[in-house]
Amino acid sequence: MAEKIQENLISLCKRRGFIFQTSEIYGGLQSFYDYGPLGVELKRNIKKLWWKEMVQNHKEIVGLDSSILMHPKTWQASGHLEGFTDPLVECKRCHKRFKADELTKDRCPECGGALTNSKDFNLMFKTFMGSTEDSASEVYLRPETAQGIFVNFKNVLQTSRLKIPFGVAQIGKAFRNEITSGNFIFRIKEFEQMELEYFVNPKNASKIHEKWQKKRLNWYIDLGINKENIRLKKHSKDQLAHYAKACSDVEYNFPFGWSEIEGIANRQDFDLTQHSKFSHQDLVYLDPETGEKFAPHIIEPSAGVERPLLAFLIDAYEEMAGETGKKKEVVLRLDKRLSPIKVAIFPLIKKEPLQKIAKEIFNDLKSAWMCQYDETGSIGKRYRRQDEIGTPYCITVDFDSLDDDSVTIRDRDTREQERIKIKELKLILRQRLDF
């Protein structure tokens, strides 16, 4: 059942223009995806809402946008060159590659062939800068956005006059050459991260870590994820990354099992201390009130964009019996803030003067919200089309509109229809859609 839903959702994503396999005309590139007209809106909404929650709503948090390619020493200092590895084994017969710690037997799960010994495989993508391809010009595509924040610690501190505790947030692409990828967009090689690095006095680190865990869990619930399907899961000591004192994941109950969509780590002073050592710069904080000098500890809520996006889609996806009792109908019950299209506007039939009025309404609303104008197919079909992509409101101009200057507004979830004066539309939509 769960697999079936996932399959249907994936096909909806493709059919309706949320997500496409990249370079599809050339047969695709495994684990890389492109976002279509609706997917890009959904992604933008997630990032906008995260930014509002994490930056705009805090006087002590600021944003940053750092480079994808960084000085190679960054990755030496951060430990990624040495330790950002997975154990890799290869089948000697079919040459498929696997993560050794995911295998249950010592033979190839695909063809039963013998496997090579396990070796450490670094997940960072390497490329070359300049005109020569030698080791002196090697650079890496960042595997996380966080390091861009740490190396800018001093710049931000000096230019923003922030006092501890304070945070620096960033949204951007990250790349990981995952050995095994899959489950649609769950594990991909190019993805976006939304990360906050929150610098604190070591004395308060544990308490602040607790606070962020709760805040981050509640963010997903507030955006409509069913409480039953989301949880915090604490890492055991042996699951912790080398730099972390403690870490909890926000996990979602995907059709393929509970899996991480965000990690909230207490990174201690590992990063700033390492970058101080490798850059010979003093990355410490001087408390202006107490005169105390210390390397701040870091609390890091780190989420991807694609995994939460998949969780939002799965949680919102509902199949129900059609009104006529025949074909099943799909409703994407996305929170209105996430919906790619907020309002759809239809003339009841493809004729003037209904078209003219509907187009005028579209033109009036489009600067405030993402709207769609649709005049093809029966009105029922047009409602279904919008339900399927999660549009909260549909507006229909009918023949009565010519006499009463009113339209029908239909609610996606209740399916109720109300009659509203055209001149009051914007105000009413503002009450329902502006958050």
**What residues make contact with ligand ATP under the rule CB under 6 A?**
176, 178, 187-188, 191, 193, 260-263, 302-304, 306-307
CB nearer ligand ATP, residue 306 or residue 374: 306
CB of 176 to ligand ATP, least distance (A): 5
d(CA 388, CA 329): 8
Q: What is the DSSP letter of 52?
A: I
d(CA 105, CA 114): 11
CB nearer ligand ATP, residue 154 or residue 187: 187
CB of 75 to ligand ATP, least distance (A): 14
Work out the burial of residue 254: count CB atoms within 10 Å of its CB; fewer than 13 is exposed, 13-18 middle, 19 or more buried.
buried
CB nearer ligand ATP, residue 122 or residue 193: 193
CB nearer ligand ATP, residue 265 or residue 358: 265
d(CA 18, CA 11): 10
Tokens of 272: 């700033």
CB nearer ligand ATP, residue 75 or residue 383: 75
- Other beta carbons within 10 angstroms of residue 20's beta carbon come to 15
d(CA 173, CA 144): 8
d(CA 422, CA 333): 26
CB of 143 to ligand ATP, least distance (A): 8
CB of 244 to ligand ATP, least distance (A): 10
d(CA 320, CA 372): 24
The percent of the chain in helix, strand and coil, each rounded to the nearest 5, is 35, 30, 35
Query: Of the candidates 144, 301, 305, 304, which has an alpha carbon nearest to the alpha carbon of residue 232?
Result: 301
CB nearer ligand ATP, residue 186 or residue 362: 186
Q: What are phi and psi of 113, to 5 degrees?
A: -70, 165
CB of 127 to ligand ATP, least distance (A): 18
CB nearer ligand ATP, residue 283 or residue 309: 309
CB of 307 to ligand ATP, least distance (A): 4
CB of 20 to ligand ATP, least distance (A): 17
CB nearer ligand ATP, residue 40 or residue 123: 123
CB nearer ligand ATP, residue 78 or residue 302: 302
261 contacts 223 by C-beta, under 8 angstroms: no
CB nearer ligand ATP, residue 142 or residue 187: 187
CB of 304 to ligand ATP, least distance (A): 3
CB of 263 to ligand ATP, least distance (A): 3
Q: Which residue has the tokens 């600067």?
A: 367
CB of 427 to ligand ATP, least distance (A): 39
CB nearer ligand ATP, residue 16 or residue 187: 187
Q: Which helix (H) or strand (E) holds 421?
A: strand 417-421
d(CA 52, CA 63): 11
Work out the burial of residue 147: count CB atoms within 10 Å of its CB; fewer than 13 is exposed, 13-18 middle, 19 or more buried.
buried
CB of 250 to ligand ATP, least distance (A): 8
Tokens of 1: 């059942």
303 contacts 177 by C-beta, under 8 angstroms: no
Chain-centroid distance of CA 235 in Å reads 22
CB of 102 to ligand ATP, least distance (A): 11
**Which residue has the CB atom at the shortest distance from ligand ATP?**
304
**Measured distance between the N- and C-terminal CA atoms of the chain, rounded to whole angstroms:** 36
Query: Of the candidates 256, 251, 237, which has an alpha carbon nearest to the alpha carbon of residue 180?
Result: 256
Can you spell out the DSSP letters for 131-172? S--SGGGEEEB-S-SHHHHHTTHHHHHHHH---SSEEEEEEE
d(CA 91, CA 389): 43
CB nearer ligand ATP, residue 5 or residue 241: 241
